[in-house]
Amino acid sequence: MVEFRCTVCNYIYTEVREGEFDSLPEDWRCPVCNALKSAFVRLNPEFHEKIDKTVSDVFVAQLVEWGVRYVFGIPGTSTLGLVDALRRNRSIRYIQVRHEASAAFMASAIGKLTGHPAVCMAVAGPGASNLTTGLMDAALDKAPVIAVTVPVPSGKAYLTLFVTSSLIMRPRGIAVSISGFMSSTSITFLIPVPWEMIISSTSLST
């Protein structure tokens, strides 16, 4: 099995699953970060450990169980794991946008048209705050939307490389459910709470 790694986002291209890498056109780009084909390097199989399922895979599978079919967002350093998990799951579609506000408005439109939630995704800090206008649009029209923001690991939260914020300003009518996955030494449970229970506690409706 031959694999190639994107040097920009660490996306792994597997020839067994996706076809021969050398046969791809020269203008082919990484499906996660849009890097050029030339940014990929061949992996040495001796140093690559195969992981069957990640936390992101479990999270995405739970979204599918809730009936989510669309995720809108922009890939960032802290969301690449989720974007890769979305790529592997055939029951949900990830659509890349050019601004986080667009992601929130598109998820809001899905909620208004279908009555089922869609996801808007952004990195922590300014990415999360950019979702606010679209989320308020959904709240005013009582449309179900799930906003996912991904913080950086706790050990890197205060490095200048990352812009983080623990909370963003929350307008009335937007429910917030905060769960944290901390270090590998702590035990974290992913509790499948129906989204209807979260929405019913606010002015939002299904």
Amino acid at 91: S
- In contact, 101 and 134? CB cutoff 8 Å: yes
Nearest by Cα to 189 from 177, 179, 178: 179
* CATH 2.20.28.10 location in the chain: 3-47
Amino acid 32: pLDDT: 85
CATH fold for the domain made of 3-47: Rubrerythrin, domain 2 (2.20.28)
3-class DSSP assignment, residue 145: strand
Give the Cα-Cα-Cα angle 135, 138, 141 (nearest 5 degrees).
150
What sign does the dihedral 160-121-99-142 (CA atoms) show? negative
Q: How many residues does the chain have?
A: 206
* CATH 3.40.50.970 location in the chain: 55-199
3-class DSSP assignment, residue 12: strand
Segments in 55-180 forming alpha helices (H): 55-65, 80-88, 100-114, 126-129, 132-140
CATH superfamily, with its number, for domain 55-199: Thiamin diphosphate (ThDP)-binding fold, Pyr/PP domains (3.40.50.970)
Kindly report whether the global pTM for this prediction surpasses the value 0.85. no
**pLDDT exceeding 70 applies to what percent of the chain?**
69
pLDDT digits (tens, 9 = 90+) for 15-61: 888 889 999 999 999 988 888 999 999 887 655 555 677 888 888 99
